[in-house]
Structure 1
Amino acid sequence: MTRRAPFPESADLARLLLRTAVGGTMIAHGVRHGRSLEGTARWFGAIGFEQPELQAKLSAVVEIGSGSAIVAGAVTPLSAAAVVGTMSVAIATVHRPHGYFVTAEGWEYTGFISAVSVALAALGSGRYSVDRLVGLDRVGTPGRRALLAAGLGVTGAVAQLAAFWRKPAVP
């Protein structure tokens, strides 16, 4: 006799809640960048990006796109990798020198968003997702999905930093 969990949908609802929280946060950040591309570009230039206008546009697109995909539960490991990459760039360029706590501009928040994204990749997007609709929810093991999200995200961040970022000189 097969035993059923008392609330079989609770894990799927938890995944949906996590996806909505992380994805919604990314969408909000992307929209914020997009509403003020000129100001965002000035900020990217001030922190050392060589093509700040391009960085501002790409930041808005990647944050809105990855956030939307996370909320929808679409290609979750790749969507999570985009979030990890974005947060890794933020950690490296802005937050790491300030220590851990967000109250001192540290990397607490960006690290947390990255960790939750990797966990979502491992857990899978669940029943209420595009991945489930198209049969991608069972591709790969949880460990491989997490490794893909973390590895691809960090690799993308390193490539972006190598191509476009130079640490500003200390005045």
Structure 2
Amino acid sequence: MSGSGVDVARVVLRAALGATFIAHGLKHGRSLDGTAKWFTSIGFRQPQVQARASAVVEVGAGAAVLAGAATPLAAGAIVATMAVAARSVHARNGFFITAEGYEYVLNLAGAGVALAGIGPGRFSVDRAIGLDRRLNGAAAALTAAAIGIGGAAAQLAVFWRSPGMGAVQE
């Protein structure tokens, strides 16, 4: 694939991933009370905080990915969001999305790590400010994965208790 073809592919990946997260975050934001009730139902403490945080993180990470800004960090936020979703909701349902499995969240997290690894491309904020030359390739992919897994582990450890296993409802 030519250089311009790769740049177009990066823009398409950023647009699909970024728009998905913006839409999902806006959905949370339009119904914070409903989102908080849902967080309660899946075992999260401080559900109002979780609802607001999920809306802000998803819109923010989506917008950053769409713009190609702070790509490894934004991709890490996507990985974290999907890892939390996988552990708290989807993993127990098996692989396939048709049974509420982790297929979809795994693909979104994988796309985030891949984007961090290949970089946002020529048409990005990161390129305009030279950030893409400082952190790229395997280091960027590993950074996104580490941010995501670490962030998810922290959120789950502090706020989540598996329903049916002594979940605390506040």
Bin of the TM-score, shorter chain as denominator length: over 0.9
Alignment match, 1:59: 54
TM-score, structure 1 normalization: 0.94
Q: 1:76 — aligned with what?
A: 71
Structure 1 residue aligned with 2:168: none
Aligned pair partner of 2:28 in 13, 28, 33: 33
One-letter amino acid of the counterpart of residue 19, structure 1? R
User: Of 114, 117, 129, which aligns to 2:112?
Assistant: 117
Deviation at 1:15, TM superposition (A): 0.2
**Alignment deviations for residues 1-52 of structure 1 (CA, whole Å, 9 cap, x no partner):** xxxx7x4211011000000000000000000000000000000001000100
Q: Work out the CA distance in 1 between the residues paired with 2:47 and 2:53.
A: 10
Where in structure 1 do 4 or more consecutive aligned residues deviate above 3 Å? none
TM-score normalised by L of structure 2:
0.95
Once the two structures are TM-superposed, the CA of residue 105 in structure 1 deviates from its matched residue by 0.2
- How many angstroms does 1:141 deviate by? 4.0
1:105-132 CA-partner distances (Å, limit 9, x unpaired): 0000000000010000000000000001
Q: Percent identity?
A: 55
The answer to whether 1:139 aligns with 2:134 is: yes
Asked if the contact 2:118/2:136 (under 8 Å) is kept, the reply is no
User: Structure 1: how far apart are the matches of 2:136 and 2:69?
Assistant: 17
Partner of 2:151: 156
**What 5-or-longer segments of structure 2 have no aligned partner?**
166-170
1-side partners of 2:160 and 2:3: how far apart? 47
**Counterpart position of 1:47:** 42
* Root-mean-square deviation over aligned CA pairs: 1.3
State the aligned residue count. Answer: 166
In terms of Rg, which structure is larger?
1
Match of 1:128 among 120, 123, 128: 123
